[in-house]
Amino acid sequence: MMQVETEFIKANAFQSSGRVLYTALRLSDGIVRYRKFIFEKWTSYVRPRLTSVSDDDRAAFVGVALNAMDAVTAMAKELHQSRPGFNGLSGPQAEIDKVGARERRLLEAEVNLHMTTPTVPSSQIHVSTSGANSPVNVGSGSLTQQVNSAEGMAELVSALNHLLEAMAQTMRPELAEVREILLEAKEEAAKPSPNRLKLSTFLSGAGGIVQTVAALQPAWEAVQQLGRTLGLA
């Protein structure tokens, strides 16, 4: 906060509304980063121990993670209110609340997905056919082709980019929240070693809203198709 205020003092804009909004934006970004931090700590410590703890303990671990998110959102609001000239401004507070609620839902979806995903290899038989990008997974009574290559992820990044562009053209404010989720999905898919569980969570979380907008259906169906091909749906 001191860094933000120093920047606005230098620009002779300390009393401007821009300082109010920029402070809220920086605090909201902090909430997003903190959610990622909590999830990384949760997966590194809790997930390897899931097979040795009780259901009650698992639920408690989830509760600790969510309580931490609640605490950081409350702290962000308090920090914003404590700055000179910000007391009583409800708009930025509402935005911080909105980001906090969104990140809490996303964290809950992420940890619950990890809770219900086996930590040991499954009995699925993998059969690789010849040629590039042609692995075939044989499950119980079904045959599903999955492309797990970097090329497949690159196609997903491209499809997500097209979807985000289509969302920008709709100019619908209710899509702002899901846009953030899809941006994180695009960022994750672009990594050298994407976290498939996180990607699956992002796509699942975005689908409920995106599929209600008719104009986005072609772009969303392309993302879904690639998600199924990559084994994310």
Going by pLDDT thresholds of 50, 70 and 90, the confidence category of residue 17 is low
Integer angstrom CA distances of residue 53 from 50, 63, 176: 6, 15, 38
Q: What is the pLDDT of residues 202-216, one digit of tens each?
A: 888 788 788 888 888
What is the value of pTM for the model shown? 0.49
Q: Can you say whether the dihedral through the CA atoms of 53, 59, 63, 66 is positive or negative?
A: positive
Q: Give the residue extent of every domain in the chain.
A: 2-115, 129-229
Half-sphere exposure of residue 103, counting CA atoms within 13 Å on the CB side? 27
Query: Tell me: the pLDDT tens digits for 136-166?
Result: 443 433 333 344 456 778 888 888 888 888 8
Rounded Cα distance, 110 and 115, in Å: 9
DSSP type of residue 129: P
